[in-house]
Amino acid sequence: MSHPKLHHDFAFLETGPGRFVCGTGPFEALSAPPTDGRAAFYINDFELSDEAPWKVPATCFETADVRQLLPENGSTPLPAVEWHGLRDGAFREIYDQIQAAIEAGTLEKSVPVITEHGYLNGGDPAALLKAIHSAADDLCGYGFRIGDAGMVGATPEKLFHVHDGLLETMALAGTAPKHEAGDFLNDPKEIREHEFVAGYLVEKLSEIGEIEREIRSVMDLGSLVHFLSRIRVRLNEPAPDLDALIRLMHPTPALGAYPRGEGALQMLFEFRDRLKAPPHFGAPFGVLWQGEFRSVVAIRNVSWAGNDMFLPSGCGIIRESRFDREWRELALKRNSVKALLGV
């Protein structure tokens, strides 16, 4: 194929092994998905506050080489980032607050997000997309750049894929370092954390269709392992529209709070604000392309605004959690992103 017309603004999502749907700007922002057959990316923040989250690209194409979004097929220099490190004080305060809410019976799980900040000393953050090709098969590459801000990552968590009246999703929760995989299989804390997510999805999705849940398995990402339950739903007619599905499912307890009442979500939003989580971290990110909609949960990423760089990670806090293990898990997740993207 000929080289696509380049534009500063872009978005991309991996839709299958080595297959990317890419869009280049300028983007037209719509409040609902287009009904005229045009492709559109869904780009919103965690609180779903963008009233026009459907971004229709000027040009859209499918490719095996996402580097086509960069000038000269990827010769753009990689970013040089000076990371500032993290201290645990602010996170410890919120960890204690969550445990107090759990003890009081108002909460069973919440997922705080901490962010390592950095400064861009040179290069181009968009060039991070060049690393996506080396990601593990179970990771899904995605990203965007609009203006002086953007995000590039490779997430293990699919939100949902809708096609031919079928919705496919997953519960992905429960985490351990690879060398502890043997103990992980029978760890009651990790199993319980996973079942919060799986149970929530089964309960919510049973309202809109016929559910099939696969047996719990393990996703092996090299340095980390996660519990995984795949879920399929044959949607009732008339099927909910895409915006309704997104609001039904996001945030799942994998990145949100359980039970998912307004009070628990407001507390979660407050935690994210206090810990300065980037607004797009953990948000739905998707693409409507050729009649199918695929979306992921925007985790395991680096984002930027001007010269400010952000590397967030989150962890699920439940009654059985222990502070030191959660702090270690947060670092493991950030380090896996640094290793993948080369920052």
CATH code: domain 10-341 is 3.60.120.10
Region 95-118: mean pLDDT is 96
- Structure tokens given for 333: 């997740």
Asked if the model's pLDDT at residue 134 lies above 90, the reply is no
Calpha distance 127→71 (Å, rounded): 10
Local structure of 169: helix, strand or coil: strand
Q: DSSP code of 73? A: G
Domain spans of the chain, in order of start: 10-341
**271-318 tens-digit pLDDT:** 999 999 999 999 999 999 999 999 999 999 999 999 999 999 999 999
Q: Quickly state the pLDDT bin for 6 (edges 50, 70, 90).
A: low
Q: Are 291 and 40 in contact (CB under 8 A)?
A: no
**225-274 tens-digit pLDDT:** 999 999 999 999 999 999 999 999 999 999 999 888 888 999 999 999 99
Calpha distance 328→107 (Å, rounded): 23
**56-69 tens-digit pLDDT:** 999 999 999 999 99
- Structure tokens given for 264: 């628990």
Q: Quickly state the pLDDT bin for 1 (edges 50, 70, 90).
A: very low
Asked if the model's pLDDT at residue 7 lies above 80, the reply is no
Q: Which has the closest alpha carbon to 60: 1, 2, 5?
A: 5
Local structure of 36: helix, strand or coil: coil
Region 49-54: mean pLDDT is 98
Calpha distance 157→167 (Å, rounded): 15
Calpha distance 39→56 (Å, rounded): 6
Q: Quickly state the pLDDT bin for 106 (edges 50, 70, 90).
A: very high
Calpha distance 332→313 (Å, rounded): 9
Percentage of the residues of the chain whose pLDDT score is greater than 90:
89
User: Over the chain, what is the mean pLDDT?
Assistant: 94
- Residue with tokens 């108002």, as numbered in its chain: 106
pLDDT of residue 195: 94
Q: Which has the closest alpha carbon to 336: 190, 173, 174, 222?
A: 222
Q: Which has the closest alpha carbon to 99: 330, 316, 252, 331?
A: 316
pLDDT of residue 74: 73
Q: Quickly state the pLDDT bin for 5 (edges 50, 70, 90).
A: low
pLDDT of residue 72: 78
pLDDT of residue 121: 96
Calpha distance 21→7 (Å, rounded): 15
Local structure of 37: helix, strand or coil: coil
pLDDT of residue 29: 98
Asked if the model's pLDDT at residue 75 lies above 90, the reply is no
